[in-house]
Each structure stands twice: as structure tokens, then as C-alpha cells.
Amino acid sequence: MRFDVLTIFPDFLKSPLDEGIIRRAILSKQIEVGVTNIRDFATDKHAMTDDRPFGGGEGMVMKPDPLLAATKKVNPRGAGHVVFLSPQGRQFNQQVATELSEREHLVLICGRYEGVDQRFLDAYVDEEISIGDFILTGGELGAMIIIDAVTRLLPGAVGCADSISNDTFSRGGLKYPQYTRPRVFEGEEVPEVLLSGNHAAIEEWRWLQSMRRTKARRPDLFAALQLTGAEKKLLRAQRIL
């Protein structure tokens, strides 16, 4: 899979791309990541990528012509899925990450200032995506979040495949509590069931803990769960439902 990131601050992405799972995925050629400086495609001597908005108002707006030239450079045949990171976009979540992981080529455009000329968005962007209801100085962090979330879903990117299927949101709820050594920490012991060796009991305990946590912390997710009759009966017995 290939990612192309278009930005006016390419150095912003150097460190995140050289760490952890993303670095290993690049080295193993599971993914390719290209970072393109939009300023390289500006046509004036000052390499300007923004200008004042027509109609007046605060701030600056990114010009459409450098963006178009940069996009055509990395996506010459138009086969890539072009995404603009924007607070007006579709909310990014695990389902969207899974959907994007099925693409062969993602072009991630990082906006700055007050926005991007609408004519470019209308003609050359496939969709806008938001990573949350807050405002950042630019789209670079959002692009890295998408690259990270999508990469770990690719086969072989994460060492233990089960960790992906058991992640928070992957199963529809929040993840259960986790424990490791020492067995006793500041007087608090690991729950006895986790030491029992009874895998069925452990799985049931973990599921119940996941449901209890989801209901308490994310009632919206809990309300959306598709539960079987047996699961509902178990939750009622534990006074979770």
C-alpha cells in the first residue's frame, strides 16, 4: 500500500515515519510513504502557496494551482483515493480505517491557514476526513493518525494478529483491563480469574469487563451493540444491562 502526503511542512513527518510499526512496515515494503512539499509546485519566485480570500475576511487560503500540480505529480493516473484533512469531513474511526486499509493508494492533503480553495476540493478531492471536533494548526498530525491506524490493519504489520481483532472499537466496545507482573502492586492483586488457567472463564470475565467499561464510559457505543439473547441474559445476571 502507498501513502502520499502533501504538505508545506515535510520535515514535520520525518520522526513519526521513522519509528515503531510504521518504520518496520516501510522497511519490509508493506507500505510506501511519499512526502511531497507543496511549495515545490508554486509558480512565483516566493513559492507562495496561499493568498488572501476573495470577499475579505481573516487569514489566508491555500491556492488551488500548487495543490493541483502536486496532486497530479503523485497521482498521475488519478487512481489514488484523495483525502483532504478537514474539520468539515467525515469523522475518522476504526470503521473508516478498515475501509481505507482496503485501498492501494491514499493521497493525504494537509491543509493550513483558513482552508483550501473550494474549486480544488470540488474537482480533485474524493473525500474530506476529520480526526475529531477540534482544530489543529494543520493536517499533518491527522495524516499521521490515518497512516498509523491504517498501517496496523495491514496483514503482517502487527506481530500478533489477535491484538488487532481484540482492540478497542474492533469488537464494538472498549477493551477490558490488562494486567502484568508483578502479581501484587502496591497491595493490589491481579484478579484471580486471570491466574486460573481457565480460558473460558477468562474470556467471559474479559468480555464482561469490556461491557461494564463501555457502558460506563461510552454509553453511545454500548447502546449500539448488537447483542445475542445469551449475551443479554449474562449481562442482566451481572447487573450490567
Cell of 222: 454500548
Tell me, yes or no, if 167 is annotated catalytic: yes
**List 112, 140, 152, 206, catalytic entry:** 152
Contact between 60 and 114 under an 8 Å Cβ cutoff? The reply is: yes
DSSP string over the chain: -EEEEEES-GGGGHHHHTSHHHHHHHHTTS-EEEEEEGGGG--STT---EEPPTT--SS-EE-HHHHHHHHHHH-TTS-SEEEEEEEEEEEP-HHHHHHHTT-SEEEEEE-BTT-B-HHHHHHH-SEEEESSSS--SBSHHHHHHHHHHHHTTSTTSSS-HHHHHTSTTTTSSPPPP---S-SEETTEEPPGGGGS--HHHHHHHHHHHHHHHHHHH-HHHHHH----HHHHHHHHHTT--
**List 64, 87, 177, 191, catalytic entry:** 87
What pairs with residue 91 in β-bridges?
130
Tell me, yes or no, if 114 is annotated catalytic: yes
Tell me, yes or no, if 133 is annotated catalytic: no
**List 114, 128, 204, 231, catalytic entry:** 114
Q: Taking the C-alpha atoms of 89, 90, 96 and 102 in order, what is their torsion angle to the nearest 10 degrees? A: -60
Tell me, yes or no, if 66 is annotated catalytic: no
**List 167, 191, 204, 231, catalytic entry:** 167
Residues marked active site are found at 87, 114, 152, 167
